[in-house]
A and B are shown apart, each in its own frame.
Chain A
Amino acid sequence: MFAKTRTNAESASAMKMESIWRRVLGGGQAPIWIATVVLFAVSPLVAPGSLKASALLSMLPFAAVLAIAAVGQMLVIQQRGLDLSVPGMMAFGAGLVTGLSQWYGWPVWASIAGAIILPAIAGLISGIIVTRFGVMPLVVTLGMNAILLGTVFALSNGTPAGAPQEIADFTKGSVGIVPNALIIAVVVIVVGGFIAQRSIVGRKLTAVGVSERAASAVGFRVTLYQTMAYALAGAAFGIAAILYAGYVTTPPLFYGDKYLLPTITAVVLGGTALTGGRAALISTGVAALFLTQLGQLLRAVGWQESFQLIAQAVVLLIVILARAIVPMVSSSIKARREATESQTVRA
C-alpha cells in the first residue's frame, strides 16, 4: 500500500515534467514564441548591430510579406491541403499591381483591387477543382502554379514592371518608426485571427478542417467552406505580393519561388498541424518573423542565398521530426511507466 502511494506521487511529478517538455517540443504554439525571443536575444552576439533600428526596419517589411503569405498557406493547410501555387500566386499579384498600372493604365486603387481579387479567383478555381472534382490539392496547385507563371509572363511580356509611386511610397513609409508594411501585416493577422477564432465562419472553417465527416454529419456545407479557404488564401497571397512589389519597387518576375517553403515552414512552426484543424494565426505571424530574422542573421554572418535554402530546409525537417518523435517517445515512456506501476502493485 505504502509502496503504491509513493509511486503515484513520483509518477505525478514525472508526468508534470514530461508534459512540459512535450508541450515545448511536441506541438502547440508556445515553442515558436520562446524560439523567437531566444533568437532575438542571441542576435547581437552572433552579428553585432543586427538589432539596430536600421537592421530591424529593413527586416520587418519582409517579415510582414511572409507573415501574410503564410496566413494564406495556413488556411489551405487547415483544410488538410497544401498550396504549391504560392510562387505563381505571389508572382501573379506583383505582376498585376505593377503591370496593370504601368502597361494598362489602370488607376492605383483598381490595380490594388485587381491584385487581390484575381489571385482570389485563381484560388477559388483551385478550390472548386479540389472539392467538386475530387482532384488531389497537390496536383491542382502545382498545375495552377504553372498557369499563373505563364499568365505573369504574358501580362508582362517578359519584362518586370515597377510599382506605382503611391504604393512604393506607402510601403516604404512608416508611422513614427513603425513601417507601414508591418502595420498592414498586423492588421491582416489581427483581423484574420479575430475572424478565425471568433466568427461563425471561422468556427465552421475550423470544424471542417478538424473533421470533414463530423462537420458533414452536423449539416455544414463542407465543400463550400473548403473552397472558400483556397479563395481566401489567394487573396492573402495577393496582399503579400502588393507589399513586396511596393517595397522592392520592381520585383523580378518569378521572385515568388523563394516563398514556397518559408510559408509552409512558418505554418508548421506556428503550431498548425499538417493534418488540419485548429489554426494558429498569430503564432504563424510570429514564425514568419522568426524565419525572416534567422535569414537576416545568416546573411549577416556571410551565408549566401543558397546556404539559406539549406538552412530553411533543415529548420522545417527538424520541426516536423520533433513533432513526430516527441509524442512517440512520450507515449512509450508512459507505457513503460504504466508497466512498472502495475508490477509494483502486484509486488
Chain B
Amino acid sequence: MAKTTKSRTAPARVNEPISIEPDIKVAPGTMLLKLTGINKSFPGVKALKDVSLEVVAGEVHALIGENGAGKSTLMAVASGALVAEEGTIEIGGETLTPGSPREARRLGLAIVRQDPALLPDLTVAENMAIGAGLTSKGGLKRAPEWAQAHLNPWQMGIDSRARVSDLSVEQRFVVEIAKALALKPRILVLDEPTEHLNKEEVQRLFRIVRTITGGSAAVVYISHRIPEVKEISDRITVLRDGAVRGTFKASEVSESQIIELVIGRALDTVFPPKGKSIQSGADDKLVVSNLSGRGFHDISFSVKPGEVIGIAGVQGNGQAEVIRALAGVEAATGSVTISGKKLRLGSNSAAARAGAVYVPSDRHGEGVFMPLTVGENIVMKTLRAVSTLGIVRDSWVNKVAAAQIDRQSIKTPSTRTPISSLSGGNQQKVVLARTLLSEPEVLLAEEPTQGVDAGARVDIYQIVRGAADNGAAVVILSSDGVELEGLCDRVFIMSRGTIIAELEGKKVTEAEITRAELTSTTERKRNDELRSRSTRFRNWMRGDSSPAAVLGIVVLLIAGLVGATNGAYFSPFSLNSILFTASMFILIGAAQHVVVLGSGFDLSVGPLLSFLVVIASFFVIDGGNIFIGIGLMIVAALAVGFVNGYLTTKFNLNPVVVTLAIALALQGTLFTMRTVPGGIITPAVTDLIFAKIGFFPVITIVAIVIALLLEWGLRRSRFGVELRAVGSRIEAAERQGIKVKKVQLISYVVTAFLVMPTAVILMSQIGIGDGRPGLSFTLTSVTVVVLAGASIFGGRGSFIGIIAAGILVAQILSVPTFLGLSGAWGYWLPGFITVGAAILYAQLRRLRRK
C-alpha cells in the first residue's frame, strides 16, 4: 500500500522484528486483570452496577454491548482514568490505587481508545516516547528509530518523524495501537479498534493480537461488530445497562444468541401512533442527494411531510455529521432541497431561514444557553415574535414561555429561573419548545432523549411526533433501537459513512435495526489522495523551521532594496547597529516564545525589562556593587515570573489579564524608583557588551547561541517535549500523565528569566536608568513570535525561527531611518507585520488542514 515511503523513511536494520511481549512470563490461564464489584454513576445515570470481570493470560476477552452499556466506562475504571465509587481492580495480582493511570500503566495495562490521546503538534516518535515514559536520558534522541521499528509491521507508511496532525485518522489510530504495544503490555485493551481500519488492516491487527495472546499477555477487545468478535475472541462478556449479562466461550454461542443478549429488552415505553398524517401524495419536504462531507459520503434520501425518519448505526459512523451538515453547522457538498427550494450548504443561518431546525445532542454545549433563564432560552429562536420594532417585550416573553412551560409540562419554578438549575429532561424540553415555536419545516434531532428520565422521554416522543403531525419532515438520530422502533416510520442504517440499509413499515423493529448495525461488514471508503505523500521537501515545509528560511530570504530582499536606495545601509556601522538590536529582539522573542509554547501569554516582558534596567541603574554603576546588582536583577526576574505563573496556573486566571496587571504594577514601581532617567551604567559592563568581531557584535552571537540551546532543549529535553505537549492539546497531555500546571508555571519563570540577558544589553545600549525604552518590547516580543510562525495557541514553533524573526524585525525597524520616512512608520511597520504575519500563518495552517 505505502511501500514507496517505507523504504526511504525506515533504515534497513530496524526492520528486524521488535519484541512486544511482556517481560514477565506467566503460564496461560494466569489471572491478569480482576475487577470485582465495580459501581460507578454519573449525574443522573448509574453507569456500572456491581460489575465483575476476570481476564486471564493467553485469551482475547471480548466486551460487547450497545452504546452506553458501560463498556468504555468499565475500561476507563480499569485503566485508572475514572474512579469508581465501589469495587477493586487487580492488575497482575496487584491492587490498583483507584484513579492512577500511571500506576495502571506500570502494572502492565495499556489502553487504546477510540479517540486517540495524541498530541497533534508533536511528532509520532515524540508521542510514542511520552506514552512509553522515555522522555529522559537521551530517549528522545533514539525515539524516531525506536518508534519506526514499532510502526513498520503495520505497513501504513507512517514516518515516525512526521507530525501527528499530518496523519490520516487511521494512521493516528495505528500510532495509538503501536504506542500501547511499545509498552509491552500484559493486558492490552482495544476500544472499537476496527472502526478506522480496512479489511487488510483488521487482519494485520488480528495477527498481532494473536501473537501477543500466544504468550503471557491478554487482550480485552471492545466492539460492536459481532462477526469480528466471533472471529477473534476466546471468551465474550455481554454488558447491558451497566450490568454483566453473562460470560461465554465464543465457540459456544451463535451470532443471534449474542444479539439477543445485547438487546434483551422489551418495548416498555408508550409511543405515539405512527405516521397517521404522512401525506403520501404530497411532494417530498426534504430531499437529500449525494451529500458528502467529513465522515460521510454519497447520502441520498427524501422525507415527506409528516414523516419521521430514523438514522441508526453504531456510534461514530457518520450519522451525527450528516445531521449537522443538514443543519448547516458543518460543511458538505451535494444538494439539499427543503420544500422545493435548494439550500445553501454550510450556512447555519441559511438552513435556519429555510426552516430547518437542529436539536443537538450535546445539550450543555450546544443545546441551551446555560447562564440564561428558561424564558430567554424558549424564545431565543423566535425573538421577532415577542418584540415590536426590534425591542423585546419582556411581558410577551413571559407569556409565550409560560404557555410553553404549561404545554410541554416543563418542571420549572418560573420563567426567570436559570436553565442550569433544571434537570436534563426539562432542559431538553425547553430546547424542543424553542424548536416547536419556530414551526419547523424540517426537524433535525440528534439523540433527543439522551440522559433523560423515563417520564420526560414519553413527553419528548409526543413533542417530536406532534411536530411531524403539523407537517414537518423529521429526521432523528438515535442509538436507542427501542426508540427508533417506536417512533420512526422509516429507519436508515449507516455504517462507515454511508447508508447501508433502509427499513420500512413492519421491518422497523429493534431486532432488525441491531442486526443490520452489528452484521455490517462495509469497509470505510478511503480517500487515497489524502494519504501521506510525504516528500522530504514537503515534510520540511510542514515542519517548524520552514518559516526561518522564508524570513531569511525576506531579510536579504529588504537589505537589497534598502541598500540600493541608500548605500550607507551596508556600512559596517549600520550593519553592526542592526545586528546589535537584533540580539535583544532574539532574546525577548525567545522569552515570549517559551510561554507561548505552553499556551500562555506574557504581556509583562517589556515592563519587566524596564524594571530590570532601572534596578541595574542603582548598582551597575561606577562605584556600585555590580554583583549585587546582577543578583537583584535575577531575583526580581524570577519573582515576577513566579507570580505570573502562580496566579495563572493556581487559580486558573486569564494569563493576559494577570500579566497585564503585573506589567502595570511594574511600570508603577519603576517610575517610582526613577521619576527621571538617572544612574550611568558603568563602562566596565557596557564595553563588554559592545565587543565585536569585525562588524559582528559578539552579543548577537551569544543571543543566537542561547536560542540554539533553547531549540535543542525544546526537542531533546523532557521539559521541552512536555511544554510542547501542554501547548498542543492540554487534555491529551493530562491523560498522558504530564503535570500540566507545573509545566506552565515553569514556563512563566523561564520566560521572565530570559528577560534578564535582554536587560543587560538594553541597559548598555541606553547607558542610563531609563524605564521608557523597554516598555515597547512587549509588542516587539509578540511580533517576533508571530513572525517566527509559532502557533499563538501553543505547541509549535522553533527558536531558529525566532532568530530569523528577531533579525528581520531589527532590520525593518531600521528602514525608516535609512529611507528618511516619518516617525509614524516606527509604529506602522511592527503593527502591520504583526497582523499581516498572523493572518498569513492562520491561512497557511487552514490550507494545510484541508
Contact = CB atoms under 8 A, between A and B. Distances in A.
Contacts of B647: 317, 321
Interface in A126-157: 129, 133-136, 138-140, 142-151, 153-154, 157
B528 to A, nearest CB: 29
A292 B782 CA distance: 31
Contact of B371 (A145, A210, A215): A210
B203 to A, nearest CB: 40
A211 B370 contact: yes
Nearest to A134: B842
Interface stretch (B149-157, B742-750, B822-830): B822-830
Contacts of A200: 383-384, 387, 390-392
Contacts of B564: none
Given A203-B380, A320-B654, A321-B651, A214 B668 contact: no
A149 B826 CA distance: 10
B365 A211 contact: yes
B712 interface: no
Contacts of A151: 824, 827-828
Contacts of B824: 150-151, 153-154
A140 B365 contact: no
Nearest to A320: B653
Nearest to A305: B671
B834 interface: yes
Contact of B367 (A134, A206, A214): A214
A317 B831 contact: no
Interface string A258-280: 00110010001000001001100
Interface stretch (B179-187, B229-237, B349-357): B349-357
Given A82-B656, A219-B381, A139 B668 contact: no
Contacts of A198: 391-392, 394
B392 A150 contact: no
Contact of A147 (B782, B783, B827): B827
B103 to A, nearest CB: 25
B145 interface: no
Interface stretch (A33-41, A47-55, A175-183, A308-316): A308-316
Contacts of A203: 376, 380, 383, 392
A180 B369 CA distance: 39
Interface string A67-83: 00000000000000010
Given A139-B786, A214-B365, A219-B349, A204 B835 contact: no
Contacts of B556: none
A316 to B, nearest CB: 5
Contact of A214 (B368, B384, B667): B368
Given A142-B782, A153-B822, A207-B369, A306 B391 contact: no
Given A135-B839, A135-B842, A310-B665, A142 B834 contact: yes
A311 to B, nearest CB: 8
A4 interface: no
A306 B381 contact: no
Nearest to B643: A317
B792 interface: yes
A309 B667 contact: yes
B825 A313 contact: no
Given A207-B369, A216-B329, A310 B834 contact: no
B358 interface: yes
A292 to B, nearest CB: 16
B267 interface: no
**Which among A216, A278, A321 has the greatest number of chain B C-beta atoms within 10 A?**
A216
A217 B327 contact: yes
A contact patch SS: helix
Contact of B660 (A204, A215, A264): A264
B372 interface: yes
B658 A218 contact: no
Contact of B390 (A199, A321, A324): A199
A147 B822 CA distance: 14
Contacts of A150: 824-828, 831
Given A278-B371, A312-B664, A139 B834 contact: yes
A217 B329 CA distance: 7
Given A213-B365, A221-B349, A139 B838 contact: yes
A325 interface: yes
B660 A261 contact: yes
A154 B826 CA distance: 11
A317 B661 contact: yes
Interface string A297-337: 00000001111111111101100110011001000000000
Contacts of A274: 654, 657
A326 to B, nearest CB: 11
Contacts of B652: 324
A158 interface: yes
A54 B226 CA distance: 85
B348 A219 contact: yes
Nearest to A262: B664
Contacts of B370: 210-211
B657 A133 contact: no
A139 B837 CA distance: 10
Contacts of A222: 348
A47 to B, nearest CB: 20
B422 interface: no
A261 B831 contact: no
Nearest to A206: B372
A316 B657 contact: yes
B738 interface: no
A139 B833 CA distance: 11
B662 interface: yes
Given A199-B392, A306-B667, A317-B661, A210 B369 contact: yes
A140 B352 CA distance: 31
A246 B426 CA distance: 55
Contacts of B669: 306, 310
B658 A317 contact: yes
Residue picked from B328, B357, B391, most chain A C-beta under 10 Å:
B391
A146 B831 contact: yes
A245 B349 CA distance: 42
A321 B661 CA distance: 12
B672 A213 contact: no
Contact of B832 (A147, A158, A215, A309): A147
B366 interface: yes
A142 B838 CA distance: 12
A320 B834 contact: no
Interface in A189-227: 198-201, 203-204, 206-207, 210-211, 213-222
Given A143-B838, A150-B828, A206-B372, A321 B653 contact: yes
A307 B828 contact: no
Contacts of B786: 139
A92 to B, nearest CB: 12
Contact of B351 (A149, A206, A219, A325): A219
B843 interface: yes
A304 B668 CA distance: 9
Contact of A219 (B352, B366, B387, B662): B352
Nearest to A204: B383
Contacts of B832: 143, 147
Contacts of A313: 661-662, 664-665, 668
Nearest to B832: A147
Interface string A25-69: 000000000000000000000000000000000000000000000
A141 to B, nearest CB: 10
A261 B369 contact: no
B668 A308 contact: yes
B392 A153 contact: no
15 contacts: A129-B838, A134-B846, A135-B835, A138-B601, A140-B838, A146-B827, A153-B822, A154-B822, A198-B392, A210-B369, A214-B367, A217-B360, A219-B351, A306-B670, A307-B668
Given A313-B668, A324-B651, 6 more contacts: A147-B827, A216-B329, A313-B662, A313-B665, A317-B647, A321-B653
What are the 3 closest A-B residue pairs judged by CB atoms, nearest first?
A219-B352, A150-B827, A146-B831
